[in-house]
Structure 1
Amino acid sequence: MSTYVQRFAQFAAGCREDGVPEAVRDDVTGRVLDVLGNCLAAYAEPDGDAAPAVLRAVRRWNGTQEATAIGSGLRLPAPSAALVNGTLAHALDYDDTHLPSVLHPSAPVVPAALAAAEATGAGGDDLLAAVAAGVEVCNRLGMASYLPEARNSLFFEKGQHATSICGTLGAAVAAGMLFGLSEQGLADALGIAASMGSGVIEANRTGGTIKRAHCGWAAHAGVNAAVLALEGLTGPPTVLEGRFGFFQAWLDGRYDAEALTSGLGERWELLRTVYKPYPTNHFTHPGIDCALALRGRFDPADVEDVELGVAAPVLRTIAEPREDKVRPRSPYHAKFSAPYTVAAALLGGGGLGLSLDDFAELDPARLALAERVRCVADERASEIFPLAFAAVLRVRLRGGEMLEHRVDSSRGGPEHPLSAGDLATKFRVNAGRALPAERIEALVAAARRRAPAAELLPLTISSP
């Protein structure tokens, strides 16, 4: 009987040798473009501090120039490039989400794969297969942590950042495939990576910029795990299910074995990963949808109070502690505030509803309205969560009139996926913050014809 990492290694080796279905390749192409667009927008962010800090740190390390840091064009060792690009990918909280695990799988896996592919000169189809396998492993690990009785991921219940923990293993799979690891080598890379994943999510609640670097560190650790396996380091074959393994260490031994490997290679969890229309924490999206639906139907000056009903488990992230959420510490912290994002959607918004420009600074009018937003648990939203993100918004005006709007699946979610046009708009707006139009179109064309990373990444620099 093979162990879980051996099954994942067999799956990944099969993806490299036999390829992945056309629908999966097409899906991954879009995810690579989404990550590149998010990275470019983050690189151009004037108030960003996490990515520049990471870039300054890796400049100290030096090493072999193997891969490109997106935007800057700095040539770095592959693990360092993965660290920078993974940080950029997650810095704006605009990255894709898998449900019900509530993971952001592309942000750690794509940067790791791009760095390894560029370092090894791998072709475009090899890159896409590696991303597909890495994201699938990441999502499966997240699915194994979802407890139906709790209607939540046990990672999140314990304050752990599932994306950075599971993403480290997904990144190791993707990088290991591109470094040419054998099936045993891939199993070893997974065993090594299981000792490297980390991340706690208190920054979602009370601030700090470390969360922006979580996906960068996962990408960095995944590439390092693959390199260490390539050089002969080995990992325990029972690293996931063992008495002192991954599931025991992180989840107290509770996990869904069927979700982990059932239908692996036939039913793709990757295809259930959805895109974000707004650059904010995903739990805020249904409230934003409700606010956008009501915007323009009243004078904001007439608002007496606002009640937002959301799933009970998300209150800890977007509503508590209240004093921090109604007066966020920074524009980035505001992205994790239900009161502020509702106020922003009621008072303005651009792009696909709310844009990066809405979080360029903390707006006094929005802060004043956020003070009048109360967040409560909504039974219907709680029942739906986390299969979809739902909310109800009730706005009471000074004259006594009550306006209400409910959504059972936020825009971009399983019931309302973004269109191809929406995704194209998102990418071009994001990339346009850092690149001229002709460079953007060259990047789109290269991605769509499945160009290798060595051709894609130089196009993320504004000039040759």
Structure 2
Amino acid sequence: MTVSQSIARFVHELDIDRVPPEVAEKTRVCLLNGYGIGLGCHDTPYAPVARRAAIAMDGEVATGATLLGDGRKTSIAAACLANSALFHGRGQEDTCGAAHLGTIMIPLLTALIESRGYPLARLMPALLCGYEAGGLLERAYAGKTTPGGFRASPLYGTTAAAAAAGKMLELSETQLAAALANAAAFSGGILQSFADGTDEWRYQVGVAARLGLVAAELARAGSISAPHAYEGTAGLVRSFAKTECDAGALVAGLGRDWAVLRVTFKPFPVCAFNQTPVTAALILREKLAGSPIKAVSVR
């Protein structure tokens, strides 16, 4: 089986009631953390920009997906763009290795449930499927793609979004494989905004969510998609990681080495790589502190 076919089978067969308890619990914690961090991002300047762009593209509608920053409703895809930017605003989202998959999937799945009335029982399985699909690729290849200038969140998050959306939509195994192949074809995202101190990286997660939805909907509509989209000679792995892809070895850990258990939560609103320096600086600050104030006189 190809990579997309193997992941599709895993996604199609996943039953949240049959996964290890710690896996199910971690998935719930990821959801709670995502919403909690999102609540703390309302004062950031990035979500309003994304909301304006979302409304400009897809317009405001009477019934649809809610823009969590102001309560207006728009299309699912537009809500993904705006709400993912909201969830990403503080830079304190969850991190699966180098990829921030929760900021991509949680707004997408929330919008799907709200707009289409899918049962809430599909939320946790869909979220877990996304973490596993995106996390599988991140763990295997981020060490090669990140130094190459590609950001892990949009590069692997598009696959995560397609897997999550496909599970929510209850796609067939064949359709799921097509959705994943589509996601591989649409993936990308560069890191230059970090070097230049600009904002593009805050919007990449919303674009990845939109593309994952497009990938799933195209598959549901009947797209014919490359079965070797990941491991092929011009597939995602060779194109971005510049290495060979052993399909069997890559997917061998699905359902055993749970990616969601690698997800960590940031104590500080900075990049994951800066958590340790910030922690060290706070410890050092206490050691370097001057004498405590004994009294204050106001004249």
Q: Same fold (TM over 0.5)?
A: yes
Q: 1:67 aligns with which of 60, 65, 77?
A: 65
Which residue number corresponds to residue 134 of structure 1? 130
Structure 1 residues 63 and 139, CA, compared in 2 at 3 Å: closer, same or farther? Answer: same
Gaps in structure 1 of 5+ consecutive residues: 147-152, 301-464
- Match for residue 192 of structure 2 among 198, 202, 220: 202
- Counterpart-to-counterpart distance in 2, 1:19 and 1:123: 19
Whole-Å separation in 1 of the counterparts to 2:72 and 2:216: 22
Q: How many angstroms does 1:98 deviate by?
A: 2.1
Q: Distance in 2 between matches of 1:256 and 1:208?
A: 37
Does structure 2 conserve the Cα–Cα contact (< 8 Å) formed by 1:40 and 1:71?
Answer: no
Contact 1:20–1:129 (8 Å) recurs in 2: no
1:208-243 deviation line (CA, Å, top 9, x unaligned): 111100111111111121112122223111110111
TM-score by length of 1: 0.59
Other-structure match for 2:92: 94
Matches within 5 A, 1:151-166: 153-166=143-156
Which residue in the other structure is 2:33 paired with?
34
Does 2:171 align with 1:181? yes
Query: Larger Rg: 1 or 2?
Result: 1
The number of residues matched between the two structures is 289
Per the alignment, do residues 288 and 17 of structure 1 end up closer, same or farther by CA in structure 2, a change over 3 Å counting?
Answer: closer
Q: Secondary structure at the match of 1:276?
A: coil
> Does structure 1 residue 283 correspond to structure 2 residue 283?
no
Amino acid at match of 1:79: A
| d(CA) in 2 for partners of 1:249, 1:172 | 20
Tell me the TM-score normalized by structure 2: 0.90
Measure, in 2, the Cα distance between the counterparts of 1:63 and 1:13: 34
CA deviation after TM superposition for structure 1 residue 260, in Å: 2.7
Q: Could you tell me how far apart the structure 2 residues matched to 1:220 and 1:73 are?
A: 20
Does structure 2 retain, via aligned residues, the 8 Å contact 1:110–1:131?
Answer: yes
Equivalent-residue separation in structure 1 for 2:231 and 2:32 (angstroms): 35
- Cα RMSD (Å) of the superposition? 2.1
CA shift, 1:256, in A, is 6.3
Q: Which runs of 5+ in 2 are unaligned?
A: 291-299
What per-residue deviation string (whole Å, max 9, x for no partner) do you get for residues 348-403 of structure 1? xxxxxxxxxxxxxxxxxxxxxxxxxxxxxxxxxxxxxxxxxxxxxxxxxxxxxxxx
Contact 1:241 1:247 in 2 (8 A): yes
Per the alignment, residue 373 of structure 1 pairs with none
Structural mapping, 1:140-289, within 5 Å: 140-146=136-142, 153-255=143-245, 257=247, 260-289=250-279
Aligned equivalents of 1:255 and 1:94: distance in 2? 32
Q: Which residue of structure 1 lines up, in the alignment, with residue 103 of structure 2? A: 107
1:22 corresponds to 2:21: yes
Are residues 77 and 19 of structure 1, via their aligned partners in 2, closer, same or farther at CA, if it must alter by over 3 Å? farther
CA 1:234–1:278 in structure 2 vs 1: closer, same or farther (change >3 Å)?
A: same
The whole-number CA distance in structure 1 between the counterparts of 2:87 and 2:230 is 27
Q: 1: distance between equivalents of 2:80 and 2:15?
A: 21
Where relative contact order (Cα < 8 A, 6+ residues apart) is larger, the structure is: 2
**Cα shift at 1:257:** 4.8
- How far 1:19 moved relative to its partner? 5.4
Q: Which moved more, 1:269-278 or 1:258-267?
A: 258-267
| 1:31-71 deviations in Å (ceiling 9; x for gaps) | 112111222222233xx1x2211111111222764322223
CA distance in 2: counterparts of 1:93 and 1:17, whole angstroms: 29
Moved over 4 A (4+): 16-19, 255-259
Q: CA deviation at 1:119?
A: 3.0
Letter in 2 for 1:137: A
Amino acid at match of 2:124: L
Deviations 1:304-336 (A, max 9, x none): xxxxxxxxxxxxxxxxxxxxxxxxxxxxxxxxx
Greater strand percent: which structure? Answer: 1
